[in-house]
Amino acid sequence: MKQPPNDKVTFGRANPDGIPYLYAAETLDTCLTEVRPANGQQVNIVSINPICDFKVIDLRTPRKNISFLSLAENDNNFDFKNILKLVNLLEDFSRELSLPVLPHRSRLDYIPTQFITEFFKNIGDLKGLVFQSSFGKGFNVVIFDQELIDWQKTLSTQQIRINGVDLKYE
Mean pLDDT by 10 residues, the chain (170 residues): 78 88 91 89 90 89 65 60 77 82 76 88 88 85 91 79 84
C-alpha span between 27 and 1 (Å, rounded): 16
- Position 2 scores a pLDDT of 76
- Position 40 scores a pLDDT of 93
Structure letter (DSSP) for residue 14: S
Identify residue 108 by its one-letter amino acid code.
L
Contact between 11 and 106 (Cβ < 8 Å):
yes
Pairing type for strands 22-25 and 139-143 reads antiparallel
Model confidence, pTM:
0.79
- Position 91 scores a pLDDT of 85
Contact between 149 and 48 (Cβ < 8 Å):
yes
Contact between 17 and 9 (Cβ < 8 Å):
yes
Contact between 41 and 163 (Cβ < 8 Å):
no
Inter-CA distances, 163 with 8, 47, 160, Å: 29, 22, 9
